[in-house]
């Protein structure tokens, strides 16, 4: 979701801004953003930083994830009034955070770095365990789909969605999207490796539950429930209807955030 620009901010005088990469299993969390009386990733990080530094810290993320969604490399920043060595902060966080949250990278950043508004693009991956019998090892990280998916049909549908389009039909709440519903998908592809089918989406930004909606549609195409050709008419309709299903949250992972060089745009863009 695109928001209006935020005012320019800097760390407190004499303080320091830190940038960190966060990895987490979202199974036990109600998403990223703090909520009253519910465990969230943001709350876990801010509570750990308070215990570690004695400062009330707001952790600003590159974006929010929904309940049950995972992250491999989510990026966030925070400010401290009293600077501390980054490696000590990183070690201290790992001593206080639950085992389902880790900070693979933490370092000082330039004062005007903003995890969200400096981001140029995001990559999400949706995992499917495509076999008659569910895998206990993938039950929290992949959606179980029993019928064998037609990956070629899914790829054909994905190609119709790649590029710059109005994705209102693939937003769970298109009427409330700030900044409109036009987005650019640089890449949307489907790959199979054994029983694992992976959908990768890379774009300049995503609407509310857009990736899960894209995955839900492609899965229906792969099952043969929806013809490939219907993808174009759904996209052009710019209306969210029951024809597009939202795939379960636990199959989704925020994979990468792009800040510098952008991924190469495929020909269909």
- Residues 91 and 87: their CA atoms lie apart, in Å, by 6
H or E, element range at 196:
strand 196-203
State yes or no: is 79 an active-site residue: no
Do you know the residue count of the chain? 269
Annotated catalytic residue, options 25, 37, 66, 118: 66
- The separation between the first and the last C-alpha atoms of the chain, rounded to the nearest angstrom, is 21
Q: Give me the half-sphere count of Cα atoms (radius 13 Å) on the Cβ side of residue 267.
A: 1
- Residues 169 and 155: their CA atoms lie apart, in Å, by 19
* Cβ(205)–Cβ(123) below 8 Å: no
- Residues 89 and 149: their CA atoms lie apart, in Å, by 45
Listed in order, strand segments (DSSP E) in 25-173 are: 60-61, 70-80, 101-108, 121-130, 143-145, 163-166
CA 121 to chain centre: 11
The token duo for 28 is: 């036990």
Strand pairing partners for 17? 79
Pick from 47, 53, 59, 114: nearest CA to 81: 53
| Residue 112 CB burial class (10 angstroms; 0-12, 13-18, ≥19) | exposed
Instruction: Just list the catalytic residues.
Output: 66
């Amino acid at each position: 979701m695109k928001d209006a620009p935020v005012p320019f901010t800097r760390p407190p005088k004499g303080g320091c801004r830190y940038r960190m990469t966060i990895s987490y299993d979202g199974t036990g969390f109600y998403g990223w953003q703090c909520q009253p009386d519910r465990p969230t990733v943001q709350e876990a990080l801010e509570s750990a930083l308070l215990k570690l530094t004695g400062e009330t810290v707001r952790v600003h993320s590159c974006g929010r994830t929904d309940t049950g969604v995972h992250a491999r490399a989510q990026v966030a920043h925070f400010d401290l009034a009293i600077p501390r060595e980054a490696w000590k902060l990183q070690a201290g966080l790992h001593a206080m955070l639950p085992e389902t949250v880790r900070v693979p990278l933490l370092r000082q950043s330039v004062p005007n770095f903003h995890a969200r508004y400096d981001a140029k693009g995001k990559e999400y991956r949706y995992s499917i365990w495509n076999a008659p019998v569910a895998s206990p090892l993938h039950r929290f990280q992949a959606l179980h789909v029993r019928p064998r998916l037609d990956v070629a049909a899914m790829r054909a549908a994905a190609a119709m969605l790649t590029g710059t389009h109005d994705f209102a039909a693939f937003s769970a709440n298109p009427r409330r999207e700030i900044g409109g519903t036009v987005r650019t998908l640089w890449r949307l592809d489907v790959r199979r490796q054994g029983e694992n089918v992976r959908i990768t989406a890379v774009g300049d930004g995503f609407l509310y539950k857009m990736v899960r909606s894209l995955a839900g549609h492609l899965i229906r195409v792969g099952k043969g429930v929806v013809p490939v050709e219907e993808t174009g008419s759904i996209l052009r309709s710019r209306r969210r209807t029951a024809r597009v299903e939202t795939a379960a949250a636990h199959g989704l992972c925020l994979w990468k955030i792009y800040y510098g060089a952008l991924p190469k745009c495929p020909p269909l863009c």
